[in-house]
Structure 1
Amino acid sequence: MNFLSKTAVIACAVTLLSGCDNRPDKTLSPPAGAKWVDVTFRVPEGITLQPAELLYRSAQCKSVRYNSSNEPHDIPGYNDIERPFGVSDGDNIRRLRVAVDGGGSCQWQLNSLKVSFRISDNVELVKGKEVIDTSYIFDFGDYGLSDGYGTGRAKVFSEKILVLNTDLFPMVFINHMFKKTTLKFFGGDTNYDKWGRRYRLSDTDSIYLHPSVHINKPVILESPISLPGNINALYPDGSREDVPNISPDYDKLLSMK
């Protein structure tokens, strides 16, 4: 279930409990002097950039949540928006300008920004596989997105400009036990902070995403046909090794780029 689906489920629950007349005004109207953040994404060949997903929260327009004892408590209201990047203006550069101060009657504040992309459908490697998005998440406040996007824990960043150049390799996972083959990018095990793709921003006003995609150097993981057994990785140079936690050796991949 993606970000928008999850928030839609929450919205339905709140609507049933509080009634349609209590829906907040989700119109954004950034005030004069509002803080903005500019996102620049250089799209490599073979990549499809998805619309950005924005989550705004409001302390003025609250929502009601019920705990396990069915007791209500207020939480900041939410406002989820999809926003496409602008058309390429040369060198496959796409840009997006996002208001941190969303304004409006609810005084919406940007809480989280998610930028996602995937291997394009016309790439030969995609055929017969379930393709999974690769994401970066940028948090501007509390009550952000869930941790279920494979980006790792948020790293604190307070400088004006954030530049991210991640080396990414296609990773095919052949899961014999579930009879499913998935495809996504691998840029290091995000359980380690140094390879994480989530940031907690405070004063940042420019984000530059320039991923380096090694589309012709996939790593192929294969599960055992039955348990017990180990997951085996086939690297672009033809070498093999057993790997833990469905994560190949990123340093080894980097030596082959």
Structure 2
Amino acid sequence: MSFSHTEWCTRVISRFAIPCLILFLCLGGCKQDQSLDPPADSEQITVTVKVPEELEAETMQVMYRSTLCTFINHDANGEPYTRDGYQQLELQPVRQGTTDLYQAKLAIDGGGACKWRLSNVTFGVVYAYPTRFGENVRYGAGGGVVVVFDHNNSSHSGVTWVVDGDLTIRESYYPWVHESLLGRPKLSVSLTGEGKIYLGYKALNARSVYFEPVVHSDFVLYSKGPAVKKDGNFTSFTYPDGSVFADGRWHPNFRKLEAIRLAAQSKP
């Protein structure tokens, strides 16, 4: 019996799937000798996201690397060099009962002939309904986390913090509604926090990663970009206390947002 390429790939993916895996992206097509094949007894890392009511968990991007299945790349000068092979897969965290916790388990040993090893995971939260901030508002960015489990860099973010052991992340975020006027005008809402778009961690020994974003929904920041691009035209930020700044920043002042909130909450 013969199978089409798509049917064959589907059978391979089904055979080697681990719980929660929803997509395989194989190097050079679907080749069995480069497929992930996690052993049944592979040690796992549990990633848990506590999702506030107005947000939703993003699909996780999981990276595996291999020092056996390498490929040739070229530097800026066109010189060839050898890179570790890699595979990316998407993984949707699963809600735990009726709680606000969403969880995924990542096999550390990716197995297969290439002896794949877990390298990093990118995950986070986004607004489930951006239009709550306006009819034409779309989601922008922010609310993301990158955790690196080896000595390689992630393509999404550099490492800001290094931790020993399990990782617990609790971070404050503020809604940021931005109006862009250059080109085609658009409105977006982002989650602005201390780590800009992504928080970056290296956790070589972690077996549990817990992320709890705390969204201060009553403290909304608004900004408007310049209509004309020229020197001296900056994005204008209107903070929750009514203060306005256009000092050349492209990103909100997180410490100012924190100070405004704490001052407001300290009033009788």
| 1:198 CA displacement | 0.3
* Amino-acid identity (%): 19
2:37 to 14, 22, 28: 28
Residues 177 and 21 of structure 1: CA distance in aligned 2, closer, same or farther (over 3 Å): closer
| Correspondence 1:200 to 2:221 | no
**Residue correspondences, number:** 233
Which one-letter code corresponds to 1:136 in the other structure?
V
Specify the alignment match of 2:112 in structure 1: 104
Contact 2:130 2:138 in 1 (8 A): no
Q: Which residue of 2 aligns with 1:173?
A: 178
Partner in structure 1 of residue 251 of structure 2 = 247
Q: Does 1:188 align with 2:190?
A: no
Shift of 1:237: 2.4
Q: Which string of whole-angstrom CA distances, capped at 9 and with x for unpartnered residues, describes residues 71-119 of structure 1?
A: 5433111111111111233430111111122222211111110013211
Instruction: Note if 1:85 corresponds to 2:93.
Output: yes
Q: Does the aligned pair in 1 maintain the 2:130–2:139 contact within 8 Å?
A: no
C-alpha RMSD of matched pairs (Å): 2.7
Unaligned segments of structure 1, at least 5 residues: 1-7
* Code of the aligned partner of 1:176: L
- Structure 1 CA distance for aligned equivalents of residues 204 and 74 of structure 2: 31
Structure 2 match to 1:145: 154
8 Å CA contact retained: 1:189, 1:247: no
1:199 is displaced (CA, Å) by 0.7
TM normalised by structure 2 equals: 0.76
Cα 1:21–1:82, aligned 2, differ >3 Å: closer, same or farther?
A: closer
Task: Say which SS state the counterpart of residue 197 (structure 1) adopts.
Answer: strand
Q: Tell me the CA shift for residue 167 of structure 1.
A: 0.6
Mapped to 2, the partners of 1:189 and 1:60 lie a distance apart of: 34
**Alignment partners' CA distance in 2, 1:95 and 1:133:** 22
Give the alignment's TM-score, normalised by structure 1: 0.79
5+ long unaligned stretches in structure 2: 1-24, 262-268
Map 1:218-257; keep pairs closer than 5 Å: 218-226=220-228, 227=230, 228-257=232-261
User: What SS class does the counterpart of residue 251 from structure 2 fall into?
Assistant: coil
For residue 207 of structure 1, give the secondary structure of its aligned residue in structure 2.
strand
Quick one: which of 159, 162, 166 aligns to 1:157? Answer: 162
Aligned positions of 1:69-84 closer than 5 A: 72-84=80-92
- Shifted more, 110-119 versus 71-80: the winner is 71-80
CA change 1:155–1:100 in 2 (3 A) is farther
Which structure has the larger Rg? Answer: 2
CA contact (8 A) 2:33 2:112 kept: no
* Counterpart residue type for residue 168 of structure 2: V
Task: Give the alignment of 1:52-71 within 5 angstroms.
Answer: 52-67=60-75
